[in-house]
């Protein structure tokens, strides 16, 4: 049960954003700037970093929400996203993205764990200053989002078929207050999961 | 040395927020709302939450900056120092002790906040809004601390920088200065 009185029809961060729409607005803007950009790093790569950091923070709602968004951008490749989430070193992704995921994992532990050598490795594999910046800030931002979601014990749906539905909303429209002010998506065929 | 090229006259977070003004804007706005917007918590109480989290995360820049801000708001430096050292014996209300304890748990992991922590805060008079804001301020400083240290930003050469920064935060707030920061060169 959530620690504060939020709309029980809304899951995860959506319930918290509806409780506090004023703070939700800049959080949605930050998410759009960091995750809805293809500037030197694809939207899929950005969501994979968000997914991995959320997994390391053991935030069920965020890792599955962002994993499902990454799946949307990767043409339905759930297997790849699951592998990056739990075992990125053996996943068929670029060495540059592996180096950035390693940097993101250090940020998740604490900013001071990022080493100059990690950055050198990433740059040697073609990472730009922008890639490094965005990786560190995405990882830091998910250390915020994950703590917000779990620190207030917001509800994480256990019906896994609901995650792709919400992901599709974000893949189509981006982040923003529509995620809590619009009707929540429901499966077209009701009762499909019994 | 910072991992990306930042302006050398802007240590800590300021160089990052100037390097990327686009992402800087919502981060500044969120901070302005949480630390200086309408609230039943005082500005000093909210800055204490930022201080406790930054201190726990061992982020030197943020810890010094927000402790200096508390000091300026309260007109003394004992409270921030004592809160950093030990929350239960610090000279703050029972409600603030409960909220600062929640913030310190959030710092480690959101999952460490228990129903008992929340109960303690509520029975000391904390509202849902105060609990919400405490958790979000703590979470926001987990972003800031990682951004500042993950990019290896510089500490100011002179520690008097923090009194000047605190003065700016108290009197101007968290939005970008309209004239920019060239006057600090």
Measured CA to CA, the distance from residue B127 to residue B135 in angstroms comes to 12
Residue A192: pLDDT band by 50, 70, 90 thresholds?
A: very low
A186: pLDDT strictly greater than 90: no
Tokens of B27: 């981060």
Measured CA to CA, the distance from residue A144 to residue A34 in angstroms comes to 14
- What count of residues does chain A have? 194
> How many C-beta atoms surround the C-beta of residue A186 within 10 A?
9
Measured CA to CA, the distance from residue A179 to residue A150 in angstroms comes to 18
Share of chain B above pLDDT 90, in %: 98
**Contact check, Cβ <8 Å, A58/B111:** yes
Q: Going from the N-terminus, what domains does chain B have, and what CATH number goes with each?
A: 12-176 (1.20.1290.10)
Measured CA to CA, the distance from residue A51 to residue B2 in angstroms comes to 26
- CA distance, residue B94 to nearest chain A CA (Å): 19
How far lies B22's CA from each of A32, A36, A47, B27, B115, in Å? 11, 13, 19, 9, 38
**Contact check, Cβ <8 Å, A147/B102:** no
Q: Are A122 and A131 in contact (CB under 8 A)?
A: yes
Measured CA to CA, the distance from residue A51 to residue B99 in angstroms comes to 29
Residue A80: pLDDT band by 50, 70, 90 thresholds?
A: very high
Reduced 3-state DSSP string for chain A: CCCCCCCCCCCHHHHHHHHCHHHHHHHHHHHHHHHCCCCCCCHHHHHHHHHHHHHHCCCHHHHHHHHHHHHHHCCCCHHHHHHHHHHHHHCCCCHHHHHHHHHHHHHHHCHHHCCHHHHHHHHHCCCCHHHHHHHHHHHHHHHHHHHHHHHCCCCCCCCCCHHHHHHHHHHHHCCCCHHHHCCCCCCCCCCCCC
pLDDT at A187: 75
**Which residues on chain B are in Cβ contact (under 8 Å) with A34?**
23
- CA distance, residue A101 to nearest chain B CA (Å): 13
Query: Nearest Cβ partner of B145 from A57, A111, A153?
Result: A111
**Contact check, Cβ <8 Å, A136/B151:** yes
**Contact check, Cβ <8 Å, A137/B135:** no
Query: Nearest Cβ partner of B110 from A5, A129, A149?
Result: A149
Which DSSP state fits A184?
P
pLDDT at A22: 98
Q: Going from the N-terminus, what domains does chain A have, and what CATH number goes with each?
A: 56-181 (1.20.1290.10)
A189: pLDDT strictly greater than 70: no
Measured CA to CA, the distance from residue A93 to residue A96 in angstroms comes to 8
Query: Nearest Cβ partner of B131 from A3, A106, A112?
Result: A3
Chain A: residue nearest B149 by CA? A111
| 3-class state of residue A53 by DSSP | helix
pLDDT at A193: 44
**Contact check, Cβ <8 Å, B30/A23:** yes
Q: Are A144 and B106 in contact (CB under 8 A)?
A: no
Q: How many helices (H) and strands (E) does chain B have?
A: 9, 0
Q: pLDDT tens for residues A87-98? A: 999 999 999 999
**Contact check, Cβ <8 Å, A114/B150:** yes
Which DSSP state fits B87?
G
Would you write out chain B's pLDDT as a tens digit for each of its 185 residues? Answer: 999 999 999 999 999 999 999 999 999 999 999 999 999 999 999 999 999 999 999 999 999 999 999 999 999 999 999 999 999 999 999 999 999 999 999 999 999 999 999 999 999 999 999 999 999 999 999 999 999 999 999 999 998 999 999 999 999 999 999 999 999 88
**Contact check, Cβ <8 Å, B149/A114:** yes
Measured CA to CA, the distance from residue B63 to residue B156 in angstroms comes to 13
> How many C-beta atoms surround the C-beta of residue A74 within 10 A?
19
**Which residues on chain A are in Cβ contact (under 8 Å) with B58?**
110, 112
Sign of CA pseudo-dihedral A120, A124, A126, A129:
positive
Q: How far does chain A reach from its first CA to its final CA, in angstroms?
A: 24
A194: pLDDT strictly greater than 80: no
Tokens of A10: 């809304």
A15: pLDDT strictly greater than 60: yes
Mutating which of B3, B49, B149 best tests the A interface, going by the most A Cβ atoms within 10 A? B3
Measured CA to CA, the distance from residue B96 to residue B51 in angstroms comes to 13
């Amino acid at each position: 049960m959530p620690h504060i009185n939020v709309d029980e029809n809304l899951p995860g961060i959506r319930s918290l954003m509806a409780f506090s729409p004023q703070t939700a607005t800049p959080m949605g803007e930050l998410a759009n700037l960091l995750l809805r950009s293809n500037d030197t790093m694809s939207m899929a790569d950005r969501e994979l970093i968000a997914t991995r950091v959320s997994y390391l923070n053991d935030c069920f709602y965020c890792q599955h929400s962002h994993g499902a968004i990454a799946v949307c951008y990767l043409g339905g490749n759930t297997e790849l996203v699951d592998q990056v989430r739990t075992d990125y070193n053996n996943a068929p992704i670029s060495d540059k993205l592996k180096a950035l995921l390693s940097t993101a994992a250090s940020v998740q532990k604490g900013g001071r764990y990022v080493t100059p050598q990690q950055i050198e490795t990433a740059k040697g594999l073609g990472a730009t200053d922008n890639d490094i910046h965005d990786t560190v800030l995405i990882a830091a931002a998910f250390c915020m989002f994950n703590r917000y979601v779990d620190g207030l014990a917001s509800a994480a749906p256990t019906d896994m078929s609901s995650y792709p539905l919400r992901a599709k909303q974000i893949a189509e429209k981006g982040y923003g207050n529509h995620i809590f002010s619009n009707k929540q998506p429901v499966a077209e065929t009701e009762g499909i999961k019994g | 040395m910072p991992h990306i090229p930042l302006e050398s006259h802007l240590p800590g977070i300021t160089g990052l927020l100037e390097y990327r003004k686009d992402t800087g804007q919502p981060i500044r706005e969120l901070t302005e709302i949480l630390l200086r917007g309408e609230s039943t918590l005082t500005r000093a109480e909210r800055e204490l939450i930022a201080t406790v989290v930054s201190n726990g995360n061992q982020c030197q820049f943020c810890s010094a900056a927000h402790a200096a801000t508390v000091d300026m708001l309260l007109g003394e430096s004992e409270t921030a120092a004592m809160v950093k050292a030990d929350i239960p014996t610090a000279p703050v209300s029972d409600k603030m002790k409960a909220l600062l304890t929640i913030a310190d748990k959030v710092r480690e992991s959101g999952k460490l906040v228990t129903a008992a922590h929340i109960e303690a805060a509520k029975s000391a008079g904390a509202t849902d809004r105060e609990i919400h804001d405490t958790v979000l301020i703590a979470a926001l400083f987990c972003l800031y601390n990682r951004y500042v240290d993950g990019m290896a930003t510089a500490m100011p050469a002179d520690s008097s920088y923090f009194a000047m920064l605190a003065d700016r935060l108290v009197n101007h707030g968290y939005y970008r200065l309209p004239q920019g920061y060239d006057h600090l060169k």
